[in-house]
Amino acid sequence: MSREDNDAKTFYVTTPIYYVNDAPHIGHTYTTVAADAIARYQRLRGGTVLFATGTDEHAEKVRRAAEAAGLDPQGFTDRVVASYYDAWQRMKISYDRFIRTTEDIHKETVARVFGELMEKGDIYKDQYQGWYCVPCETYLREDELVDGRNCPDCGRPVEEMAQDAYFFKTSAYGEAVMRAIENRPELVQPDTRRNEVLSFIRHGLRDNCVSRLNTGWGVPVPGDEEHVVYVWFDALVNYLTVAGYGYDDERFARLWPPDVQLVGKDILPRFHATIWPAILMALGLELPRIIFGHGWWISASGDKISKSRGKVVDPQAEVELLIEESGCTTDVATDSVRYYLLREVPFGHDGTFSSEALLGRFNADLANDLGNLLNRTLPLVKRYLDGEIHEPGPGAGALAEVAQSAVTRAEQGYAELDFRAMLQATWELLAAANKFVDQRAPWDLYKTGKKVELAAVLYDILDSIRIAALLISPVMPTVSEEIWRQLGLDSMGVDMSWDDCEAGGMPPGAKVRRGRPIFPRIDMDLVRKRVAQEARQEEEEEQQDMITYDDFQRLDLRVARVLDADRIEGADKLLKLTVDVGEEQPRTLVAGIAQQFGPRELIGQHVVIVANLEPATIRGVQSQGMILAAGEKEPLALIVADRECEPGEKVR
Ligand code: MSP
């Protein structure tokens, strides 16, 4: 099939592929829901779509997480990937392809691409001397570090690295990538991010290290088993694997280039807007049409209503919250969370996730504007028209203009990935329809026997609801289906199609069916009262957990100077420390801080230890005390004396 044949182009939309050391969270969900809305919209328009998502499994942090769980990496990723399948099923993600980087076809494609670039001289071997951030899986130069030891992206300590490695000639493509981004404003979006990217490139692109020493996890470098392909190179190639690059030319011709690639803003400048286009240029391939870097969600501080625990918002917990507070179905709650994510902030901006705002939108936008319009209109059709939609007749079409404008703006919103504007346009149509009910008062028309007018008014309202259901169906697929059902359209055999967005498309003869209200209202006063009561209860419980001053006095906290620090063989997380506590002999401690702190940065530090903790033998080493560090799940910062003091000094 030739690429000249434009109709043959399959609309190809991608999300990043996600690391499997973490279960899916709001970040993964956000990108994936947005991509899902795009895919559904394109299908609704009758297009052929390939929507791909998946998992990035060859990361060092994945290997370490597997080790910590006592599993081999493949067994570990096989297990975690299930949580992605499950999450996407719950969120109604209609992907066509879920790619795992551990699939053979992908490993073959990575090796093929790497080999091609080696042959062309775009990948060469040299010495790598620098730093690596394991959580971000990023190679960093000394001048990029913060405070000389922390990652500029996540702020966590980096690891030093010196090894033979393979490099990709990113620098050779810097100019060309920059020109492409400048000449094609659509390529990298939104504009603010595009400017960030351009300034990142202007700072100068250096060649990227694209391999790691082989620790038994990853795709081996072709012809050199001592090295594996760097996980980011491996991951970016997934977009080519999905498209059939190198093994299915016909498929590739249909899919390439991707139409929309969605990513979070953090992985745009360094990866998707530089290395990725550079690799494609090196391969002589067309660049994607749009690469869009969306913003980040943070959780509202003090959001007491949220069911998510900790700093990371869990979309499933928010779904449960909606079900609990409103009594709606799981499907409706899921659609409502999808709606909130795409409605609350402009795509591209950061947002604060607040459960209170989620419940608020459920009440205002969904229960009031949309739900209420349906719930107040259907009974009128039942009562006055025997439940059947009549021919529009003369006088109908009063809302046609508003509807047309909503459709045009919604189309523009979808095309520009401005989901918020698209939803706002739809809600203007709903507002107009609600106002129309009030103004035209069908009950009065009935009373005064204006039958023709009554039929026309009800027709216009239902037609507007029908159009609104179509416009939002990519975002709220189940809700739209339910509206379709209640309007009697499914039993008329009318499928949803964007072509039917025009006003006047409601088929006469459809029999409306009242169902349960889709969005039962939430009593916010009640919610707030209950939350306040729960908070009080929690406070009381906390007070019961108080210890007395005497209890505290029993702890012997002391300043200790670290004399020596060593890794413990076979234990990734543990360090053996030798510390001076002002006693005759130094003490030995075992501390679970090896992943966050290197031995060299500890020696000489004045840390705080619990000196009267019962000794314990850990990995054959006797530990005589415990070092104090901040951080609930993992040690983030050590507690150190902020000025000169003697080892053994009491801490009180
Ligand atoms: N494996 C790489 C991507 C390789 S693609 C070739 C990766 N994986 S990830 O699991 O860390 O991806 C997380 C995605 O979620 C990123 O797009 C990131 O921007 C996004 N988010 C993570 N936390 C987020 C929020 N709190 N809010 C919105 N998105 C955020 O990176």
Mention every residue, 6+ apart, whose C-beta is less than 8 A from residue 222.
Answer: 111, 114, 115, 118
Helix axis angle, 73-90 to 26-44, nearest 10°:
60
Task: Name the H helices within 327-450.
Answer: 330-344, 355-361, 372-385, 400-415, 419-440, 442-447
Atom of ligand 1 nearest to the CA of 56: 1
- With a 6 Å cutoff on the Cβ, whether 465 touches ligand 1 is no
Q: Which residues contact 569 (CB under 8 A, 6 or more apart)?
A: none
CA distances from 418 to 38, 177, 411 (A): 11, 26, 10
Single out the residue of 57, 13, 12 nearest to residue 262, CA to CA: 13
157 upstream amide cis, omega within 30 of 0:
no
For residue 9, the model assigns a pLDDT of 94
**Protein residue with least CA distance to atom 20, ligand 1:** 27
- Ligand 1 centroid to Cα of residue 18, in Å, is 7
> How many angstroms does the Cα of residue 257 sit away from the middle of ligand 1?
22
pLDDT-derived band at 204, boundaries 50, 70, 90: confident
Q: Is the pLDDT of residue 3 over 50?
A: no
**Contact 347 CB / ligand 1 (< 6 Å):** no
Integer CA distances (angstroms), 476 to 39, 52, 292, in order: 13, 20, 22
The two structure tokens encoding residue 35: 């991509």
How far, in Å, is the centroid of ligand 1 from the Cα of 193? 16
pLDDT for the residue 31 = 98
Cβ atoms of 303 and 288 within 8 Å: the answer is no
Strand, coil or helix: 507: coil
* Mean pLDDT computed over every residue of the chain: 93
E strands in 600-649: 606-610, 616-618, 621-623, 626-627, 629-630, 637-638
Q: Which domains does the chain have, with CATH numbers?
A: 352-501 (1.10.730.10), 549-638 (2.40.50.140)
- 496 CB-near residues (< 8 Å, 6+ apart): 44, 469, 470, 473, 480, 484
Q: Is the distance from CB of 236 to CB of 263 less than 8 angstroms? A: no
Residue 5, pLDDT > 70, answer: no
Model confidence pLDDT, tens digit, residues 22-49? 788 999 999 999 999 999 999 999 999 9
Please, are residues 541 and 581 in contact by the beta-carbon 8 Å criterion?
A: no
Average pLDDT of span 627-652: 89
Which of 20, 25, 30 to mutate to test ligand 1, by most ligand atoms within 8 A of the CB atom? 30
**Separation between Cα atoms, residue 52 and residue 13, nearest integer Å:** 6
SS3 per residue for 173-220 = HHHHHHHHHHHCCCCEECHHHHHHHHHHHHCCCCCEECEEECCCCCCE
C-alpha dihedral (442, 443, 448, 450), degrees to nearest 10: 30
Band of residue 310 on the pLDDT scale cut at 50, 70, 90: low
Share of the chain above pLDDT 90, in %: 76
Residue 62 amino acid letter:
V
Does the beta carbon of 135 sit less than 6 angstroms from any atom of ligand 1? no
Q: Ligand 1 centroid to 24 CA: how many Å?
A: 10
Q: Give the residue from 629, 651, 479, 628 showing the smallest Cα distance to 556.
A: 651
Cβ of 276 less than 6 Å from ligand 1: no
- How many angstroms is it from 112 CA to the middle of ligand 1? 26
In 5-105, the DSSP E strands lie at 11-19, 49-56, 97-100
pLDDT digits (tens, 9 = 90+) for 382-415: 999 999 999 988 888 999 999 999 999 999 999 9
Residue 256 Cβ contacting ligand 1 at under 6 Å = no
Q: How far is CA 107 from the centre of its chain?
A: 25
Rg (CA), the chain: 30
56: closest CA among 65, 67, 69?
65
Answer whether 348's CB lies under 8 Å from 293's CB.
Answer: yes
Contact between 35 and 15 (Cβ < 8 Å)? yes
* Distance from Cα 337 to the centre of ligand 1, integer Å: 19
Q: Is 263's C-beta closer than 6 angstroms to any atom of ligand 1? A: yes
What pLDDT band is residue 308 in, cutting at 50, 70 and 90? low
What confidence tier does 117 reach under pLDDT thresholds 50, 70, 90? very high
Q: How far is CA 388 from CA 146, 202, 395, 479, 487, in A?
A: 69, 65, 18, 22, 10
Task: For ligand 1, say whether the CB of 314 is within 6 Å of any of its atoms.
Answer: no
Distance 585 CA to ligand 1 centre (A): 49
Pairwise pLDDT comparison (597 vs 85), residue with the higher score: 85
Hey, which of 267, 280, 318 would you mutate to test ligand 1's pocket, going by the most ligand atoms within 8 Å of its Cβ?
A: 267
Q: In angstroms, what is the span from residue 633 Cα to ligand 1's centroid?
A: 21
Contact indicator for 503, 403 with CB cutoff of 8 Å: yes
N-to-C CA span, the chain: 77
Q: Whose CA is nearest to atom 8 of ligand 1?
A: 18
Burial 357-375 (b: 16+ CB within 10 A, else e): bbbebbbebbbebbbbbbb
Provide the 3-class DSSP secondary structure of residue 168.
strand
State whether the beta carbon of 272 lies less than 6 angstroms from ligand 1. Answer: no
**pLDDT above 80 (res 633):** no
Atom number in ligand 1 closest to CA 298: 26
Give tens-digit pLDDT for 330-344.
999 999 999 999 999
Q: Is 56 in the pocket of ligand 1 (CB under 6 A)?
A: yes
Residue 240 Cβ inside 6 Å of ligand 1? The answer reads: no
Task: Write the residue with the smallest CA distance to atom 21 of ligand 1.
Answer: 27
Contact 574, 568 (CB under 8 A): yes
- Give the mean pLDDT of 522-547: 86
Which residues have a Cβ under 8 Å from the Cβ of 50 and sit 6 or more positions away? 10, 11, 12, 13, 96, 97, 242, 255
Residue 266 Cβ contacting ligand 1 at under 6 Å: yes
For position 4, what pLDDT does the model report?
Answer: 43
CB distance 16 to ligand 1 below 6 Å: yes
For ligand 1, is residue 264 a contact (CB within 6 Å)? yes
Tokens of 348: 């591209």
Strand partners, 168: 123, 208
> What value does the mean pLDDT take over residues 335-357?
96
Is the minimum distance from the CB of 609 to ligand 1 under 6 angstroms?
Answer: no
Assigned token pair, 174: 């810097």
Q: What is the pLDDT of residue 532?
A: 87
Lowest mean pLDDT among 18-27, 164-173, 295-304: 295-304
CA angle 551, 554, 558 (to 5 degrees): 130
HSE value, Cβ hemisphere, 13 Å, CA-based, for 192: 9
Residue nearest atom 7 of ligand 1, based on CA coordinates: 18
Tokens 């359209």 map to which residue? 489
Nearest CA to ligand 1 atom 30: 27
- Distances in Å between the Cα of 57 and the Cα atoms of 22, 73, 108, 445 are 11, 9, 15, 65
Higher-scoring residue by pLDDT: 305, 277 = 277
CA–CA dist 482, 336 (Å, integer): 14
Please work out whether the CB of residue 230 comes within 6 Å of at least one atom of ligand 1: no
Pocket lining: 236 vs ligand 1, CB cutoff 6 Å = yes
Tell me, in angstroms, the distance from the centre of ligand 1 to residue 207's CA.
24
| Ligand 1 nearest-atom number relative to CA 262 | 17
The per-residue pLDDT for 416 is: 96
Residue located nearest, by CA, to atom 12 of ligand 1: 18
**Residue 538 confidence (pLDDT):** 82
Q: Which of 85-89, 212-216, 419-423 has the lowest mean pLDDT?
A: 212-216
Atom 25 (ligand 1): residue with closest C-alpha? 27
Q: Given pLDDT bands bounded at 50, 70 and 90, which one contains residue 567? A: confident
Which residues in 486-506 are b (16+ Cβ under 10 Å) and which e? bbbbbeeebebebebbebebb
